[in-house]
Copies of this chain bind each other. A is one copy, B any other.
Amino acid sequence: MKSMNVCKTCSLSSKTVFGSLTTEESEQLEANLECYEYKKGEIIYKEGSRITGFYCVKKGVFKIYKTGIDSKPQIVAFAQKGDITGYRSVLSNEPACTTVESLEDSEVCYIPSSLIFEFIRKNSNFALSLIQLTCKELNTANDLIKDIAQKTVRERLAETLLMLDQTFGKDEEGFINVNLTREDISSIIGTATESVIRILSEFKTDGLISLKGKKIGIGNYSKLESISNSFLK
């Protein structure tokens, strides 16, 4: 599944921290990239394994999760085009604390850690970008803690639907453009799969969303927002 095509996505994307690199550094990055393809359901790396570089998503979507009680996964984030994963473990030099698995056929670029550390040493803007990236994720994580701890399953589901809609956009038919099972959704929220299904049915009955197979389309944003914020309680 390895292909040695050079990838310009990473170094050129202003979304990634690599936007802080100088021209020479970008060229150096290009020269040291390795691209890989992953079929749906394949795993880049598992929790506990040693990883030796960053993975920058070129195409597709990945779910990032920790394994909890009874091997039940807890999804803590997603990664799609332009997102980087694996950086936490590389930078803190610890085993991977999450598992990364593709939700569809995907491609990623691998950037060896030696190169990353060289950039950090030489380019303080790059270091600062990395710092800001982790700080942003830290804040997101803290918000999630608050939400999970204080909101009901119903509220969290409403919020999660809005988050998914915003993160992945819509397909031609207006459905959220990501391929998640009901079980995946329950792993985001931290609840039973059946609870997700039941509340989704309610939302549909109330005209808030439309369902077609496993696809979900949001019909009434403001009401979902109200529910997610508990204004209706």
Confirm or deny: A190 has a beta carbon within 8 angstroms of a beta carbon on chain B: yes
Nearest B residue to A88 by beta-carbon distance? B135
Given contacts A69-B151, A69-B230, A148-B149, contact A127 B120 (CB under 8 A): yes
Confirm or deny: A27 has a beta carbon within 8 angstroms of a beta carbon on chain B: no
Give the distance in Å from the alpha carbon of A147 to the alpha carbon of B74 in the complex: 9
- Integer count of this chain's copies in the complex: 2
Contact assessment for B146 and A74 in the assembled complex, using a CB-CB cutoff below 8 Å: yes
Nearest B residue to A155 by beta-carbon distance? B69
Confirm or deny: A72 has a beta carbon within 8 angstroms of a beta carbon on chain B: yes
Confirm or deny: A97 has a beta carbon within 8 angstroms of a beta carbon on chain B: yes
On chain B, the residues within 8 Å of A76 by CB distance are 142, 145-146
Contact assessment for B91 and A135 in the assembled complex, using a CB-CB cutoff below 8 Å: yes
Contact assessment for A74 and B139 in the assembled complex, using a CB-CB cutoff below 8 Å: no
Contact assessment for A92 and B145 in the assembled complex, using a CB-CB cutoff below 8 Å: no
> C-beta contact mask, A75-104 vs B, less than 8 Å → 1, else 0?
010000000000110011110011000000
Distance between A185 CB and nearest chain B CB, rounded to angstroms: 13
Confirm or deny: A132 has a beta carbon within 8 angstroms of a beta carbon on chain B: yes
Contact assessment for A92 and B189 in the assembled complex, using a CB-CB cutoff below 8 Å: no
Confirm or deny: A197 has a beta carbon within 8 angstroms of a beta carbon on chain B: no
On chain B, the residues within 8 Å of A189 by CB distance are 149
Give the distance in Å from the alpha carbon of A87 to the alpha carbon of B189 in the complex: 29
Contact partner of A74 (CB less than 8 A), chosen from B68, B136, B137, B150, is B150
Contact assessment for B141 and A138 in the assembled complex, using a CB-CB cutoff below 8 Å: yes
Confirm or deny: A130 has a beta carbon within 8 angstroms of a beta carbon on chain B: yes
Residue among A76, A98, A145 with the highest chain B CB neighbour number at 10 A: A145
3 closest A-B pairs (Cβ-Cβ)? A149-B190, A141-B141, A127-B127
Interface on A for B, CB 8 Å cutoff? 66, 68-69, 72, 74, 76, 87-88, 91-94, 97-98, 117, 120-122, 124, 127-128, 130-132, 134-139, 141-151, 189-190, 230
